[in-house]
Chains A and B, each alone.
Chain A
Amino acid sequence: MPRKTTQAEGKAKKGKRSSKKSESKPMPKVNEPRIGVFVCQCGSNITSVMDVEELTDYAKTLPNVVHAENMNYPCSFKGQEEIIAAIKSNKLDRVVVAGCSPRLYEPTFQRCVSRAQLNPWLFEMANIREFSSYCHKTTPREATEKAKDTIRMAVAKARLLEPLEPIELPMTKKVMVIGGGIAGINAALDLADMGFKVYMVEKTETIGGYMALLDKTFPTLDCSICIEGPKMVDVGRHPNIEIISFADVLEVEGNVGNFRVKIRKNPRYVIAKNCTGCGECKDACPIEYPNYADMYLGVRKAISVPYDQAVPLIYTINRDYCIECFKCVDACGARQAINFDQKPEAIELNVGAIIVSIGYDMYNPKDLEWTGYGKYDNVFTALEFERLILAAGPTGGKVIRASDGQKPHSIAFIQCVGSRDINMYEYCSSFCCMYTLKHAVMLKEKYRDGIDVYVFFNDMRSNFKGYEEFYNRAQKSGVKFVRVKLENRRVTEEPETKNLTVHGETEDGKPVHAKVEMVVLANAAIPQQTAPELARILNVPLNKDGFFIECQPKIRPIDTDVPGIFLAGACQGLKDIPYSVAQGSAAAAQAASVLRKDSWTVEPLVAKVNEDLCSGCRVCESACGFHAINVEKAGDKQLAKVTEGLCRGCGVCASACPMDAIAMPNYSDRQITAQIGAVMQKETRA
């Protein structure tokens, strides 16, 4: 820590700490702080190592300490009442609790002292559990001495604590949901029903995500679009939801309660308000191109919607393929919905909270040579198979081979293609086992004995409600399960018949071979391509696999590190439909708990800039990891400005500032030097 004196000037009595002698402790004068120390026994967590009585007695010797006691569980209801009583009877104006980590219990005690009409920032915590009793179990003497040091430091800082007032930020009662998959749809509907304005920003032409492309859902075999379609329509019709589809999020600024979002709405070359979705343009259009929604197995017109249930039902012209014959313009006629001169539209939104639900992507296994994908005609990925078996798909629900258009008499499903592979994607894609079971059961129920179905798996993961029963159903329906090692799997092709052979090795090393007419790969699900870019825009970190990191994996799985930004669905970690839906609703509830407030309270422990000293050098700007401090023009000067909603009070800017112009409240140089001074006080050690 660089030496600074700026905050000390004109504020407090200097040199206080050096005048202390534990034996001849004078009673505090009028206007001097009156500190109470409460030492926690924490069951046996602390007492089993240290003598809390000794610590309490020691605390009593420290300057300005007028009251010290030890108690079991100060955090309990009873303990808190005792603290309040002690504050009142001893007229305490500073409180130190020596116990556990402030991470969990500081807010509890802050609320406690404020109930005793004390400013909550006149409270300090000394962590003698994690720092002493937990980590020095075998050396109780030294642990006790260290605990004394910790308490002494806390008291030294408590003496200099200043009352602070929380910062209130205005709240915009609107929310943006990024990504219109099933998780985003649920989050949007829930929030809209609660009465909040929702902007749903979708990258593609239609909301619905991957679920809208599936045939059936496991384990009930419901028609996927039949259950998602009505929800999509609800989103489209809800008065509180505005869908901004075919759009990209470019920039997000600001903080919880007031995010400023810049969006680019890409041109569809169709005027949304004039398009009735009648489809006459599509019939007139002569050009077809491969449809991504059909996994490129089928085609769509150069002016079209990806599938009939698309929401919003607005046609889009793909100028990469359009030949500009303007037959669609003729077909549209008086509706005049087509505009070839449409330009990208810039939209700016103001929202109070953001829900990220951008979902996942599928790995293209063409790089995995052993699979033969891309090389052999009759090797498919699971999503391609989904489109084949779907009645509304390009083949009308007929499962046919690419090489000859014939129905295969045997199919092999290969699990864990790319996933659970330390060289590719180490994680389990979580839903492949179940969808493979679904495909296998569907094939067996569709073609009965007319088809042999093999599943080459390593581990069958069918946890959660109703899934194991579904596995049993697959086994009973005659699907042959072959357990193979993940290594040494291979697919080969007979060039004449285009039939395939799947080679594998059982757990005990025996080779297995199966001659089949079609192979379906359970390829890994991977993070959405746009995730890194969005992570940069939102300043929410990604984990090593590329999924968004939640605030705390167990107890805060929806929140991100950025207040006001929440996660839902597979972008946080791969999950199937029911869990994405649940997480969507959870994110909505979390967002609502923020949005329902009239203002957002921020702890006042944020950086403060002394405008007289700031030279606008921008060192702090580059040091800040949260984009919370920016140099802006103020009058004729360039000055650093702190965005209070984003500042985490880490103090990096304060230590980086060459002009000593930034101060951290209650972590001032004076307070920290006092703590350092206290720990260096050799003479007070026993």
Chain B
Amino acid sequence: MPLKTIKKETADTLMLEWVLHVKDYKLTLNKNRCAGCQICSLACPKEAIKVEKCPKLDGEKAGKPVVDVDLAKCNFCGICDILCPYGAIRVNLDGKHLLSVVEKESFPQLIRDIQVDTSKCPIDCVECEEACPLGLIRVSRLTPDVKTVESVSPLEHEKSVPKLKVDIQREYCPCCRVCEVKCPEGTIRVRKFLNGKININTEKCPTGCKDCLDVCPITGALYLSDEDRRVHVNEAFCVYCGACKIVCPVEEALDFKRTRINHTSIRSGTWNKALERLASPVDMTKELKTKGSLKARESVKKRVALKETQNA
């Protein structure tokens, strides 16, 4: 008998489900978090995800590219979930966010390297909370008995013991570093997990078009220059998701490529292929070589250490 499958789509979510008698696989796409960046579709080993440009209406802003998942091809492996920089896709097994590919070490995880040292936080400061383009940061104040108080501005008598707590919803954070730059005291340190290069070719870029800017979820990564009415890039903030590249109407107007992805170290054919598509074959080979030389170095180290112990 055929498998019971469900596909539901609402304005906010897209949901796919395999309802087996003993197991329940569910993939949920949160359309509000999704930037339409194509990373999932590039990484999907079953080519089940399609990202298509949203038709643009005259005089309106460019819409986010639309993501669709093919129920017939999807195998609920969760690789899209792992790689989505915005955490827009969740694959659940029996309602739990447990991914077999992670458990069996057959696919790496992204390293979201975010460090916060709240001891340096000035009282009253909510710069990071306000700066985060995705609204993922929440600053709250702790009372001496470590209870959270809603308001940040402390009561008069508490001024002597300032203590702030910065909560970051890491699973949704694309590591754009806006908070790091905006923080007046250097409390937050963020390392990007996606690295690459982006450049707008001013000769090709049509004047007045700001489609890329419309879809970019990171405020400040792209900006409209007052001088030439064209969009410019601030690479400091760009997360290299590539949503801009999809909507750009002119070929070669936007040079975009990913080079390196920060991830947990793992041996996996699926990852090599994903990296090849997300970055380039050259970058994939580079990573493989690095892994190889690291391994060689380690084995040499071990041998030397062994000899030393023997000599000793």
Chain A interface (Cβ within 8 Å of chain B)? 284-290, 295-299, 302, 320-321, 323-327, 330, 362, 364, 366, 374, 381, 383-384, 388, 394-395, 400, 402
Query: Is B212 an interface residue when CB atoms closer than 8 A count as contact?
Result: no
Residue pairs across A and B with Cβ atoms less than 8 A apart, 24 shown, are A285-B106, A286-B100, A286-B104, A286-B106, A290-B20, A295-B1, A296-B2, A298-B21, A298-B23, A320-B46, A320-B75, A323-B101, A324-B45, A324-B269, A324-B273, A325-B106, A325-B271, A327-B104, A330-B267, A362-B1, A366-B2, A388-B21, A394-B20, A395-B21
A324 contacts which chain B residues (CB < 8 A)?
A: 45, 269-270, 273
Question: What is the count of residue pairs linking A and B with beta-carbon distances less than 8 angstroms?
Answer: 87
List the 3 closest pairs (A to B, CB-CB), nearest first: A297-B21, A325-B106, A326-B269
Least CB distance from A104 to B in Å reads 48
Please, how many angstroms separate the alpha-carbon atoms of A302 and B104 in the complex? 13
Query: Bound complex: CA of A202 vs CA of B204, how far in Å?
Result: 61
Name A291's closest neighbour in chain B (CB-CB).
B20
CB-CB under 8 A for A325 and B75, given A297-B20, A298-B21, A298-B22 = no
Please report the C-alpha to C-alpha distance between residue A364 and residue B2 in the assembled complex, in whole angstroms.
8
- Give every chain B residue within 8 A of A297 (Cβ-Cβ): 20-22
CB distance from A321 to the nearest CB of B (A): 4
Question: Are A325 and B20 in contact, with the CB atoms below 8 A?
Answer: no
A295 to B1, CA, bound (A): 6
Given contacts A298-B20, A323-B106, A327-B268, 19 further A-B contacts (CB under 8 A): A285-B106, A286-B103, A287-B77, A289-B75, A290-B18, A297-B20, A299-B20, A320-B46, A323-B79, A323-B270, A325-B107, A325-B270, A325-B271, A326-B269, A327-B104, A362-B1, A364-B1, A388-B21, A394-B20
- Rounded to whole Å, the gap between the CB of B291 and the closest CB of chain A is 14
Residue of B3, B79, B107 contacting most chain A CB atoms (<10 Å): B3
B273 proximity list for chain A (CB < 8 A)? 324
B2, B3, B19, B77: the one contacting A286 at CB < 8 Å is B77
- Interfacial residues, chain B to chain A (CB-CB below 8 A): 1-4, 18-23, 45-46, 75, 77, 79, 100-101, 103-107, 267-271, 273
Which residue of B23, B46, B105 is within 8 Å of A299 (Cβ)?
A: B23
Which of A289, A299, A323 is in CB contact (< 8 Å) with B45? A323
A400→B20 CA distance, assembly (Å): 12
Give which listed residue, A286, A325, A395, contacts B22 with CB less than 8 A: A395
Considering only CB atoms, which chain A residue lies closest to B271 in the complex?
A325
Q: What is the bound-complex CA distance between A327 and B19, given in angstroms? A: 27
| Chain A residue with Cβ nearest B93 | A288
Residues of A within 8 A of B103 (CB): 286
Chain A neighbourhood of B45, CB < 8 A: 323-324
Q: Which residues of A contact B268 (CB under 8 A)?
A: 325-327
Q: Which residues of A are found within 8 Å of B23, using beta-carbon distances?
A: 288, 298-299
Q: Given the complex, which residues of A lie within 8 Å of B107, measured CB to CB?
A: 286, 323, 325
Which chain A residues border B20 with CB–CB below 8 Å? 290, 296-299, 394
Q: How far is the CA of A38 from the CA of B267 in the complex (A)?
A: 90
Q: For A290, A324, A326, which residue has the most chain B Cβ atoms within 10 angstroms?
A: A290
Indicate if the CB atoms of A394 and B1 lie closer than 8 Å: no
Chain B nearest CB, measured from A276 CB (Å):
21
Instruction: Name the one of B2, B3, B100 contacting A288, with C-beta atoms under 8 angstroms.
Output: B100
In this complex, the member of A295, A296, A394 whose beta carbon has the largest number of chain B beta carbons within 10 angstroms is: A296
Q: How far is the CA of A381 from the CA of B22 in the complex (A)?
A: 16
Residues from chain B with a CB closer than 8 A to the CB of A299 are 20, 22-23
Residue from B1, B3, B75 within 8 A of A287 (CB atoms) = B75
What B residues does A285 contact at CB under 8 A? 104, 106
Q: In the complex, which of the residues A296, A321, A388, A400 contacts B3, with contact meaning CB atoms closer than 8 Å?
A: A296
A267 to B77, CA, bound (A): 23
On chain B, the residues within 8 Å of A327 by CB distance are 104-106, 268
Is the beta-carbon distance between A321 and B75 smaller than 8 angstroms? yes
CA distance A109 to B60 in the complex (A): 96
Q: State A253–B242 Cα separation when bound (angstroms).
A: 58
Q: Is the CB of A290 within 8 A of B3?
A: yes
> Cβ of B269 and Cβ of A325 under 8 Å apart?
yes
Q: In the assembled complex, which residues on chain A have CB atoms less than 8 Å from the CB atom of B75?
A: 287, 289, 302, 320-321, 323
**Chain A nearest CB, measured from B77 CB (Å):** 5
Give the distance in Å from the alpha carbon of A383 to the alpha carbon of B1 in the complex: 8
Known: A286-B106, A330-B267. A323 touches B77 (CB 8 A): yes
Minimal Cβ-Cβ distance residue in B for A302? B75
Pair A323/B46 contact, Cβ less than 8 Å: yes
- Distance, CA A220 to CA B106, complexed state (A): 47
The CA of A401 and the CA of B47, in the complex, are separated in Å by 34
Q: Which residues of B contact A402 (CB under 8 A)?
A: 19, 21
Bound Cα distance from A302 to B101, whole angstroms = 12
